[in-house]
Each structure stands twice: as structure tokens, then as C-alpha cells.
Amino acid sequence: MNEFRARYVNSNGEIVSGTFNSASEADLRHRLSEQGCYVYSVDEKGKGLSLGWGGRARRKKVKSTEFIIFNQQFLALVHAGLPILKSLDMLTQRMKNPFFQQLLTDISARVKSGALLSEAFEAQGVFAKVYTASLYAGEKSGNLEEVIRRYIEYQRTIDATKSKVKSAITYPIILTVLLVVLVTYLMAVVVPQFATFYEGLNAQLPQVTLTLIAISRSIRQHLVTMVFITVGAVVGLRIWSRSEKGGFAVDGMKLRLPIIGDLWNKFAFSQLSRTLSTLLSGGIPLVNALEIVADSSGNQLVTRAVRNAIASVREGQSLSKSFESSSVVPELATEMVQVGESTGSLSEMLRQVANFYDEEVNTRLSQVFTYIEPILLVILATIVAFVLIALYLPIFNIGQAMKGGLR
């Protein structure tokens, strides 16, 4: 018998951590499931989190598009009447991705040994809690096909929204990078060549040209230092943001950014609402669904707001009332959630909240970047014009002086 640490939701909806003696991880998961518990993780003492059949942690991820295709094929096979194990074996044999194939092989082995399908996917450590929790609810309710169908729709919508946001910000980012590269090239390469040329002529230079040359020299002298400082700051910020204190600070800074901060907040709440809607429609209790949403949120301020809501809901408050005290939950969203609770259609209302904010974020992003793009182009044109004037003004002055001398 081995000793394991397990974190799970008991039959009363409480998050519990405990130590158990069991022959294997699969056996412990099966025992807890039979008691009506949902298992978050099982960790054998002294070995760390068990994520695979061999006990080694996997850090890779399966691409979202590839996972959606797998679920579509799996759903089609199950709907056609094939047993789950047979369906898994067929898809495993046809899988071209070696890493995903290894995962599916492990999943099949776990299911054959008596584990639930949701437990087998959960044990891999690479699949979203939303997916494994939905599978668990589908297995318990006997509605696995519908749960998988809802998850496919959910993931497609999430991916489409993220793709739109990325597309909207790509062009301004490219313009900004080009602006930085161009200015660096002008100051580090072009301006020094003109400075050398003017020194050879021993000409008196206008103040604007002297200022430009001074800036160029300063940049050339400190360019390496500036690059190291920039890279160090970015790396340091990333490392710091992974700590609890740093994560809160960085996420808070994101939400306080002018214009973009409000959009960031609404995008985060849109993802939260859609995830919660998917879980509730799959039959998962509200507290359990909120716990999963809190664990899967990418923003620590949102996670804290959800955990505060969990505590309030457990005390008997409604979800809308729990959201009222949170600064990250939009007021309109709270009102829509309240309507959903009063009409008994919370899942559907959350889905509408997600659709509403997805549309608003897409529209506002388009508007914002409609103004940002020409502003960046004006800045670029202004810098180039200033450099050209500063560089060619002495040549113009020398030409004028030569004409005056000839007369």
C-alpha cells in the first residue's frame, strides 16, 4: 500500500485535502468517485504530482484545434454506438501526434483498469479542468455525448474570440516594432555617417543637427546597456509575475491601463462567464463550477473575486449578490446574472453575458486600433521628417553659402 495526498470535492460540495493509503492512484480515484467526490488531483507522497501512467510530469500541451478534432471524432464514434474503449483505441491508432498518442494510450490503459474516463483525462495533467469536470458530470448523468458536444462548441467560441483579439492587435504591434527598429537604425547607422561627413568639412552645424548627433552618440554609447536593461526588465517582470504578489500587481496593472484595461477586464469576465455557463449546463453544482473557474482563470484578481464569491455562496448568498462587491465584475453583468437566477436560467444568461462582452470587446478593439494605427504612422513620419531635416539642413546651408561666395 502506498500513501497518497488527494484534493477533491466531497458530496457536500466542500473542497477537501487528505492523505490516503491505496494500492494505486487509479484505485484511490475510483474509491473517491464511488463516494460521490470529484477528484482534482492525486499526489503520491515523495514523488510529486502524478500526471502520467509512469508517474512523470508532462509539461507539453495538446493544441486546441487538434483537441477539438479529437473530440469531434470521439463524439461521432460514441454516437454511432461504439464503446468508449473501442473508440479510444481507434483514435489512438490513427493519431499522428506522438505526444497526444502517448496520452491516449495512457488514458485507455487507465479506463481498462477501472478508472472513469474523466479520471483518466484528469490524470494526464495537460487537459483543462473545464473538460475533465464536464466529462465527470456527463458520466454521472449518463449524458456524455451532450456534454462533449457542448464542450466542442465552448472551445470553438473561446478560440474564435482569442483569434479576433490577436488579429486586432497584431498590426499595431508590427508598426511599433518597425518604428523602434527604424529609429534605432537611423540613430546608430545613418546619423553617424553624416556626422563623420560634416566633421570632414569642418562646417558650422545648426543646433537641430547638433542635437540629433548628440542623441545618436548617446544611443550608440549605451545601446548594449539599453538592450541588456530592457531584456533584463522583461525577464525579471515575467519571473516576478509568476509569484503571488507579483501576479496580483501585474494583473492589477493590466486592468488599470487606460482604455485597454477596461477591455482586458471585460474579456476576462467574458471567458469566466462562458466557462461557468458550460460547467453549469453540464450539470456541475454552482460551487464546484466556481472552484474550477477560479483554478483555470488566467488573472489573479479575477481568481480572487471568484473565490470571494464562493465563500459568499456557501454562506447562502446568491451569485449576483456575491459579485456586487467585486470591482472586476461589470455592473451590467451582475444585473444579468441576477435576472438569470430569478428566472432559473443562470447558465443561459451567463452565455449571453459572454456573447455580449465578446462583441463589445471586438467592437471596441476595432475602434481603438482605428485611431492607434494612424497615430503610430504620424509619429513615424514625424521622426523620419525630423531626422531628414536635421541631416540635410547643413548641406542646404553650405550650398547657400557657396552661392553667396560666388557672387
| CATH number of the domain where residue 370 is located | 1.20.81.30
User: Is 3 within a domain?
Assistant: yes
Which of 30, 50, 70 is the last residue in one of the domains? 50
63 assigned to some structural domain: no
167-176, 332-341, 396-405: which is most confident: 332-341
Is 360 among the domain residues? yes
Residue 141 amino acid letter: S
Backbone angles phi, psi at 332, to 5 degrees: -60, -35
Q: What is the pLDDT of residue 404?
A: 57
Q: What is the per-residue pLDDT for 180?
A: 86
First-to-last CA distance in the chain? 107
Q: Look at the alpha carbons of 303, 309, 313, 319 in this order and tell me if their dihedral is positive or negative.
A: negative
Are residues 273 and 400 located together in one domain of the fold?
A: yes
Give the tens place of pLDDT for each residue, 70-92.
999 999 999 999 999 999 999 99
Q: Report which listed range, 235-249, 278-292, 386-400, is most confident.
A: 278-292
Domain count within the chain: 2
Residue 32: CATH number of its domain: 3.10.20
Rounded Cα–Cα distance for residues 70 and 82 (Å): 15
Q: Band the pLDDT of 405: cuts 50, 70, 90.
A: low
Q: Given this model, what pLDDT does residue 92 score?
A: 93
Helix/strand/coil for 127: coil
Q: Are residues 163 and 39 in the same domain?
A: no
* Same domain assignment for residues 43 and 164: no
**pTM > 0.95: yes or no:** no
Band of pLDDT at residue 55, cut at 50, 70 and 90: very low
* Dist CA 253 CA 207 (whole Å): 40
R_g of the chain, CA atoms, integer Å:
29
Domain that holds residue 353: 154-407
Between 371 and 398, residue with greater pLDDT: 371
212, exposed or middle or buried, with CB in 10 Å at 0-12, 13-18, 19+?
buried
pLDDT at 114: 84
Asked whether residue 221 is assigned to any structural domain, the reply reads: yes
Does residue 82 lie in a domain region? no
Is residue 356 a part of any domain in this protein?
yes
pLDDT score at 89: 92
Alpha carbons 145 and 121: distance in angstroms, whole number = 16
Pair 177, 46 in one domain: no
CA 173 distance to own-chain centroid: 18
Q: Is 266 part of a structural domain of the chain?
A: yes
How many residues appear in the chain? Answer: 407
Q: How confident is the model at residue 255 (pLDDT cuts 50, 70, 90)?
A: confident
Considering the domain boundaries, does residue 72 fall inside one? no
Task: Round the average pLDDT of the chain to a whole number and report it.
Answer: 83
Same-domain status, 46 and 161: no
Answer yes or no: is pLDDT of 141 > 50.
Answer: yes
Average pLDDT over residues 241-245: 76
Q: How far apart are CA 365 and CA 369, in angstroms?
A: 6
Same domain, 209 and 358: yes
Same domain, 46 and 168: no
DSSP assigned state of 187: I
pLDDT in the model for residue 46? 52
| 217 & 350 share domain | yes
Judge whether residue 394 has pLDDT over 90.
no
Higher pLDDT, 211 or 44: 211
Position 47 scores a pLDDT of 47
Of 11, 27, 50, the last residue of a domain is: 50
Give the tens place of pLDDT for each residue, 161-179.
888 888 878 888 888 888 8
On the question of pLDDT at 291 being above 80, the answer is yes
